Amino acid sequence: MRSLTTFSGVVAALLLSAAVSPGEVNVVIEHNDTTTATPAFTFKNIPSPSMNDAASKAEFVLVDGARGINSGGLEKLHDGKLPTEADEPGENFYFLMGIDGGRLLVDLRSVISLKQVNTYSWHPGPRGPQVYTLYACDGRSASFSSQPKQDIEPEKCGWHLIAKVDTRTKHGMAGGQYGVSISDSAGAVGNYRYLLFVISRTENQDDFGNTFYSEIDVIDRNAPEPAQVIAAPPPLQDLSQTFASGGGVYQITIDPTRAPDLTDWAFKELAPVAQEWYPKIVKLLPSEGFQAPAKVTIDFGKSTAGYVAITHGNRITCTTSWFRENLRGEARGCVVHELVHVVQQYNYGDGRPQPPNASPIPFWLAEGIPDYIRWFIYEPKSHGADLLWMRQQKNLTPSYDGSYRVSANFLNWVTEKYNNELVPRLNVALREGRYSDNLWKQSTGHTVTELGGEWKKWLDAELKVAENHPRSIK
């Protein structure tokens, strides 16, 4: 479903002084959800991205912040090319994980009559919405600084505030495709050469809040109408199939459209595992008033930001190349791990309101719990995180907050020794935004640091025994 929101004038605090423009700045926001978004970036009231607008020949400069490891370069913002799918890191620009956005300078190389600034983004999760403040300047002020760092207020060094943009809703950060168009009721925002985007992340509950920006268009009022980006090639034949789970309560769609060679494996081997284990995971991680997503999608994409698989809301995207190499190994267990993420729902991207003053989500727990369920409940006989696995690791210095398998081992040890309800209790607190280290004391009588130290001593002793008596671990 598409949604349209329009902000203008005093309502959005975007009114410019008469010295800059006699009209009012209007900000139009449109959203295509994950089911309607297409590579054409088609909106009802916002033009599709252009390929020869004023930004196409502009210089883009990273003033503050750092580019994400798997992000495309700044040229992705004005090359007139668009991503073909929702989670395609290399075809977007985004800031490094864990930092609060950054600043981006656009030098148009000459003063133009600025008619419109349009920004586009696409991502299935919290990296879809846009949050930024736009400033502009002609560069003629004596106090002008072209690259003000994060600790400098742009308005104090020659910049004019143009607009504040925030496409998030009160009920979370819906993924999908966003278009933002900034214009002026008088026909031109003003005469400017430079634009400064002060970009913020969409959430701080984890490290994945920096938006995937797909394109930035700048329209010159006195230039010919720019041409739209050539539409992407027609979609592939849909090979998706939906499987009932949990007595029909849940629907799991598996989509091998972009990897047709995996169709047989996906339907005959992966589907039964997902059908059986999704309801089991829901029962393992309950909380009052919470309902896990009734519909889950598992698809295969060409890129997942450097991960073998990644989950956004109720959609799991698997890296095709890795799965092709691991069909007889870890592929199914990897999807079980991701199904846990679907049930966790820690990021409030499903429309649930975020609790006030919600506590940050420790990454090691967010990933440790799925690996605990995978390695110690789903496939304990594979020994993927137990003492046998630990013994095989070279130069391993285990720490309880080491994340993934290491933290899974720690959680299993605490569960077996102190409280077999520990993981469900931690999950409830994390899901409801009230996690704190006090939960460990309440559940076990010890702090997490004390538990970590005790576990480490136990682990070191067991590994030493295994080193001296290799057959003692089974």
**102 and 155, same domain (yes or no):** yes
Residue 391 corresponds to which amino acid?
R
pLDDT at 20: 40
Distance CA 156, CA 391 (A): 59
Whether 231 is in a domain gets the answer no
**215 and 247, same domain (yes or no):** no
Distance CA 278, CA 298 (A): 12
Q: For 203-261, how does the pLDDT look when each residue is reduced to its tens digit (9 = 90+)?
A: 887 778 899 999 999 999 999 999 988 766 666 788 999 999 999 999 999 999 989 99
pLDDT at 22: 53
**215 and 245, same domain (yes or no):** no
Distance CA 331, CA 325 (A): 9
Report the relative pairing of strands 190-199 and 131-137 from DSSP bridges. Answer: antiparallel
**393 and 427, same domain (yes or no):** yes
Query: Above pLDDT 90, what percent of the chain?
Result: 71
Spatial CA neighbour of 177 closest among 32, 380, 373? 32
Query: Above pLDDT 70, what percent of the chain?
Result: 88
**133 and 269, same domain (yes or no):** no
Whether 235 is in a domain gets the answer no
Across the chain, mean pLDDT equals: 88
For residue 60, the cross-strand partners are 106
**pLDDT at position 173 over 80:** no
Q: For 377-430, how does the pLDDT look when each residue is reduced to its tens digit (9 = 90+)?
A: 999 999 999 999 998 888 888 899 999 999 999 999 999 999 999 999 999 999
Whichever domain contains 374, its CATH number is: 1.10.390
Whether 232 is in a domain gets the answer no
Distance CA 282, CA 350 (A): 16
**429 and 341, same domain (yes or no):** yes
Whether 165 contacts 211, CB under 8 Å? no
Query: If you count DSSP H runs as helices and E runs as strands, how many of each does the chain have, helices first?
Result: 10, 14
**24 and 89, same domain (yes or no):** yes
**313 and 252, same domain (yes or no):** yes
Distance CA 66, CA 76 (A): 15
pLDDT at 467: 61
**372 and 456, same domain (yes or no):** yes
pLDDT at 302: 66
**210 and 309, same domain (yes or no):** no
Task: Output the CA torsion sign for 455, 458, 464, 467.
Answer: negative
Residue 34, domain extent: 2-220
Whether 317 contacts 255, CB under 8 Å? no
- When divided into structural domains, the chain yields a total of 2
Whichever domain contains 16, its CATH number is: 2.60.120.260
pLDDT at 351: 47
**pLDDT at position 342 over 50:** yes
Give the 3-state secondary structure of residue 315: strand
Which of left, alpha, beta for 383 (phi over 0: left; psi -120 to 50: alpha)? left
